[in-house]
Amino acid sequence: MKQRLLSLDFFRGLTVAGMILVNNPGDWGHVYAPLEHSKWNGCTPTDLVFPFFLFMVGVSVAFAMSNRILDTAGHGKLIMHIIKRAITIFVIGMLFRLIPHFDFYNMRIPGVLPRIAVVYLVISLLYLKTSAKTRIWLCISFLIGYYLLMTFVPVPGIGPANLEPETNLGAWLDRTILTEHHLWAQSKTWDPEGILSTLPAFSTGLLGIMVGDWVRRKDKQDAEKVTWMFVFGFGSVLLGLIWDSFFPINKSLWTSSFVLYTAGLACMGLATSYWLIDVQGYKKITPPFVAFGRNAITAYVLSGVIPQVFGGIPSSWFMPFLSPYNASLAAAIMLVLLLLIPVWIMYKRNIIVKI
């Protein structure tokens, strides 16, 4: 029988709520610094949201597929399910970009949901068809290979390898394959969820799978599981910080140092949640976040579609009694609370939208 990890639902829901919060301020001109992405190198709390989610995609794959792997006769059916789910998430991501104007000519192809779809597809197939040892080597290979590509391969038509926004190898590849019409609207010359940076994103998911497999083990005591999750998490953060000295932590490039740094923090966050919720039984504050976590894609899609169609919650609603920055934050919190209503109803009725 498939295990259900309440702490995973909680931590995923906390991440989704954070994603909605940082993506929907009442006024983009008045946003507290921790709620903004880094301009380039570096990492703010906001930069943690997406890698945390991808890490938990990996953890979820380990829990969802571990028993089904043993049924080799059913692998064909499982592969079709994986492909269908990945395509569905990708298509939802495309529709997400088209609403409300349906401008196919300028539709951004990369993005959060497309990257989730591609990472889910690849790591799920790897989990199904490769050993744990092979996945570790692949994870390392993606990280080192990406580092070598970005720092040693000359950029065609530009010159030596570099890590600048518009002239790095990844930006060149995005422009060459996708053209400016299908890239991030704020740049049109590169994309933060671009093609080449998806390689290290696979490692984010694979690290999640490794942790998920560890938590699943029935031959280990909970205290040992949590201890080693903290050791692994701290070690990963430390390696990320060391690598940062010559391959900077950078979300937009999804650098290898960024992968290790954020995966380490995610692992320690999940370890804390696991110990408090699944082991110690502290569950009083979990329901709202579990509601978001069990229908994460639904909540994320609604958080994008509703503001696009009906307009976001403006800061002006709160300006009479709050400062501009607090009014902007209050508007974002209000949207999170409004979106809690549908996912809460789904949670209470045990409705989980399975894509």
10 and 158 share one domain: no
Q: For residue 55, how many C-alpha atoms fall within 13 Å in the half-sphere facing its CB?
A: 27
281, 315, 339 - which closes a domain: 281
Residue 41 maps to a domain: no
281, 309, 327 - which closes a domain: 281
What's the pLDDT at 182?
Answer: 81
pLDDT tens string 251-301: 999 999 999 999 999 999 999 999 999 999 999 999 999 999 999 999 998
**Overall average pLDDT of the 154-183 stretch:** 93
Residue 69: pLDDT band with limits 50, 70, 90: confident
Residue 217 maps to a domain: yes
**Overall average pLDDT of the 129-147 stretch:** 97
| Percent of the chain's residues with pLDDT above 70 | 98
What's the pLDDT at 1?
Answer: 40
Q: Two tokens at 37?
A: 């992405």
Q: Which of 304-308, 309-313, 340-344 has the highest mean pLDDT?
A: 340-344
271 and 292 share one domain: no
211 and 62 share one domain: yes
- Please spell the DSSP secondary structure of 70-126, one letter per residue: G-GGGHHHHHHHHHHHHHHHHHHHHHHHHTTT--GGG----SHHHHHHHHHHHHHHH
State how many domains the chain has: 2
Q: Domain span at residue 142?
A: 47-281
130 and 52 share one domain: yes
Cα–Cα dist 75/68, whole Å: 8
Cα–Cα dist 206/146, whole Å: 15
Residue recorded with tokens 């610094």: 33
Contact (CB, 8 A) for 270 and 228? no
Tell me the β-bridge partners of 250. Answer: 42
What's the pLDDT at 3?
Answer: 57
| Percent of the chain's residues with pLDDT above 90 | 77
160 and 89 share one domain: yes
Radius of gyration of the chain (CA): 20
Residue 221 maps to a domain: yes
Which residues touch 182 (CB under 8 Å, ≥6 apart)?
106, 107, 108, 109, 110
User: For 175-184, 246-255, 322-331, 345-354, which range has the lowest pLDDT when averaged over its residues?
Assistant: 175-184
231, 264, 281 - which closes a domain: 281
202 and 112 share one domain: yes
